[in-house]
Amino acid sequence: MNKQEFDLLNIIKKEAYVNQRQLSEASGYSLGKVNTSLAELVEAGYLNADYRLTEQAKELFTENRPNQAVILAAGAGMRMIPINTEVSKGMLEVRGETLVERLIKQLKEKGIHKITIVVGFMKEQYEYLIDEYGVELVYNKEYAVKNNLFSLAKVKDRLENAYIVPCDLWCRTNPFSETELYSWYMIDEMPDEDSTIRMNRKMELKAVGDSEAGNHMVGIAYINKESARTLEQKISEMKEHRRYYNSFWEDAAMEKGKMILFPKEVKKGDVLEINTLEQLRDLDENSDQLNSELLDIIAETLSCEQKEITEIEPLKKGMTNRSFRFRCGEKRYIMRVPGEGTDKMINRSQEYDVYQVIGPKGICDPVRYMSKEKGYKITEFLEGARNCDAENENDVKACMKYLRNVHEQNLKVDHSFDLFEQIEKYEQYRNGEKSIYRDYEKTKEKMYELKFFVDQQEKEYTLTHIDAVPDNFLFVDDRIYLIDWEYSGMQDPHVDIAMFAIYALYEKEQIDRLIDAYFTEGCLEEVRTKIYCYIAICGFLWSNWCEYKRILGVEFGEYSLKQYRYAKEFYRLAKERMEND
- Which one, of 216, 97, 111, 98, lies nearest residue 161 by Cα? 111
Per-residue pLDDT of the chain (581 residues; tens, 9 = 90+): 788 888 898 888 888 777 888 889 888 889 999 899 999 999 999 999 988 999 999 999 999 999 999 999 998 776 666 766 677 889 988 888 999 999 999 999 999 999 999 999 889 999 999 999 999 999 999 887 889 999 999 999 999 999 999 999 999 999 999 999 999 999 998 888 889 899 988 889 999 887 788 999 999 999 999 999 999 999 999 999 989 998 999 999 999 999 999 999 999 889 998 877 778 878 877 776 666 788 889 999 999 988 888 888 877 654 456 788 999 999 999 998 886 556 677 889 999 999 999 999 999 999 999 998 888 999 999 999 999 999 999 999 999 999 999 999 999 999 999 999 999 998 998 888 889 899 999 999 999 999 999 999 989 999 999 999 999 999 999 899 999 999 999 999 999 999 999 999 999 999 999 999 999 999 999 999 999 999 999 999 999 988 887 776 666 777 888 999 999 999 999 999 998 86
Q: Write down the pLDDT at residue 340.
A: 59
> Any idea which architecture 3-63 has in CATH?
Orthogonal Bundle (1.10)
Helix axes 3-15, 20-27, angle to 10 degrees: 110
- The span from the CA of 255 to the CA of 257, in Å, is 6
- The span from the CA of 254 to the CA of 228, in Å, is 13
Question: Would you kindly state where each structural domain of the chain is located, as residue ranges?
Answer: 3-63, 65-273, 297-380, 387-580
pTM of the predicted protein model: 0.68
- Would strands 462-464 and 473-476 be described as parallel, antiparallel, or unpaired? unpaired
Helix (H, G, I), strand (E, B) or coil at 211: coil
Q: Give CATH for domain 387-580.
A: 3.90.1200.10
Q: Write down the pLDDT at residue 493.
A: 97
Q: Which CATH number fits domain 65-273: 2.60.120.10, 3.90.550.10, 3.20.20.70, 2.40.50.140?
A: 3.90.550.10
Q: Give CATH for domain 297-380.
A: 3.30.200.20
- Would strands 184-192 and 262-266 be described as parallel, antiparallel, or unpaired? parallel
- Which one, of 133, 137, 103, 105, lies nearest residue 123 by Cα? 137
End-to-end CA distance of the chain: 83
From residue 63, alpha-carbon distances to 59, 60, 122, 271 in Å are 6, 5, 37, 27
DSSP state letters, 187-205: EEEEEETT-SEEE-TTS-E
Q: Write down the pLDDT at residue 339.
A: 65
Q: Write down the pLDDT at residue 84.
A: 65
Q: Write down the pLDDT at residue 319.
A: 44
Q: How many CA atoms lie within 13 A of 502 on its CB side?
A: 32
